[in-house]
Structure 1
Amino acid sequence: MIELKNDDLRVKVNEHGAELSSVQSVDDKIEYMWQADPKFWGRHAPVLFPIVGRLKDDQYTVNGKTYHMTQHGFARDMDFMVIEHEDDHAVFQLNATDETREKYPFDFDLRVSFTLEAHTLSVHYTVTNPSSDVTLPFSIGGHPAFNVPLEPGQGDFSDYFVTVAPKKAYPQIPLVGPYNDVKHEKTLNLTTPMTLDHDLFDRDALILDLDHVETTLMLSTQLNDHGVALTLQNAPYVGIWSPYPKRAPFACLEPWWGIADNVDSDGQFTHKMDLQTAGPKKSFNAGFQIRFF
């Protein structure tokens, strides 16, 4: 476990999955991150790579060959190498292996960096294509889960709300089972805060189409002054999720550069909706910030 610290926060990141596992305030010891109780969901904040969501029938085709990969890809279940570590900064690296090539026939260099400044943790993804002649296709995303309520005994799930800026009605991409149904896009009015309710997630995550516009989602309550604010500069989507029908005491705010297969997907990986690419010897960069208050 790698630790970052400053005068405001103590952060822990697990080398397994480069997974953010704990963010605790120094002053009042509030734990912001969900602590992975397997009764509800045994993860904290997995890195989603090289896919976000589910593939149709958990498989896809590249150059006529079929590959199998489960939901959200394999990075979350692999050990990363720590290549930089200071008090307020760490970088985790994952490279292609024979094991990954059986599921995903591409070479890659994935780096996840965490930088702590005052009450803000910045998370940055760099996906580099080491090939000199093949374009690297992929999706990537985050899945941080936050305790709701943040302080035990102070309110419950329905005492929290999500406020989105800019305030507007957002295109919402529905899910049919685990697959996106963009042809039947809905609208979610977020001109006012959305009060959390477990029934919001009866059809899985709420997926907002951000159109790469800088957006901030704040998870907070009127019962106290504590919460989190997640800011994305260039993400196409953000998911809001809590497991249903479980009444889990956490909510996820998920920045995505990719999305689950479409209900009409033909299985060709290069046809995948909102697929990112890195050309030969090129890199893709993305990230987000979480402010803890």
Structure 2
Amino acid sequence: MKILFAGTPEFAAVALKSLYDAGFDIPLVLTQPDRPAGRGMQLHASPVKQFAVAHDIPVAQPVSLRLNGKYPDIAEEAHALLHATPHDVMVVAAYGLILPRSVLEIPKYGCINIHASLLPRWRGAAPIHRAIEAGDAESGVTIMQMEEGLDTGPMLSMERIAIGAEDTTASLHDKLAELGGKMIVDAMRKLERGALTAVPQPEEGVTYAAKIAKEEAALDLTQPAEVLWRRIRAFNPFPGAYATFNGVPVKFWRAELASTDSSAVPGQVLAANAQDGVLIACGSGALRVRELQKPGGKRLPAAEFLKGFPLEGGRFS
């Protein structure tokens, strides 16, 4: 069976590697165009492209697949390539481009998506972030037959994992990427045997995982400590939750809930030392921040951070 693969970030690259290592024939990879990144803003290939190039898999990078969109000539060229490339199914993982019906209908077995949530919960762009932010006890991966709606297609398989108290978006991402790679290999083997069964998504329990905006990173310390703790974990590594101290934005990378019951003004620094970390009063409860970062600096344990940025007695806003 020939599998055309479409994906862009590391989550997708893990799935591509799993399919490649399992011996599937991958005649073509679609990924987003190279993007400027880093201080020099030089063009960087996506993790999916890097893997494909390293393993001599042909790569296409159209900016659009919509024939009636902004780039009809590019989309038409991409469609011609898809029609000319023999394949049975397209596997899609965090590709980042909308697949119109004209693309979904090209493969014999359609397009199959690896989605990092327990559908129908957290359809959309940021399911990992939103699951942690909402305080979900578990997450997982759903293998889904794609249709034109946003993550509305029938489910082919689903597996669950617990979200730990220490999990961040970074750590949960890695767990789900590994799980997704295993599951898509299993799904493709079942598809080859004609043993893959689709089940409609439940009509109840639908939620949407909106794309993360940088503006969300600013913490409102009048909120309960538990809400802020979840946001710190959800926004690690992007966009990085922060609060402002004397006009300086300070990012909080690692924190825990403190048992301190304080009536202090939200944002007040209750303690700042190597033993206690940075203890901050919230709308209710308190946060103990263990890893911080000032602008232009490195992520540092609280003890190291405080050597160059004293906080004792001050207040975050």
TM-score, L = length of structure 2: 0.24
- Using CA pairs under 8 Å that are at least 6 residues apart, name the structure with larger relative contact order, 1 or 2: 1
Q: Which has the higher strand share?
A: 1
TM-score, L = length of structure 1: 0.25
Larger Rg: 2
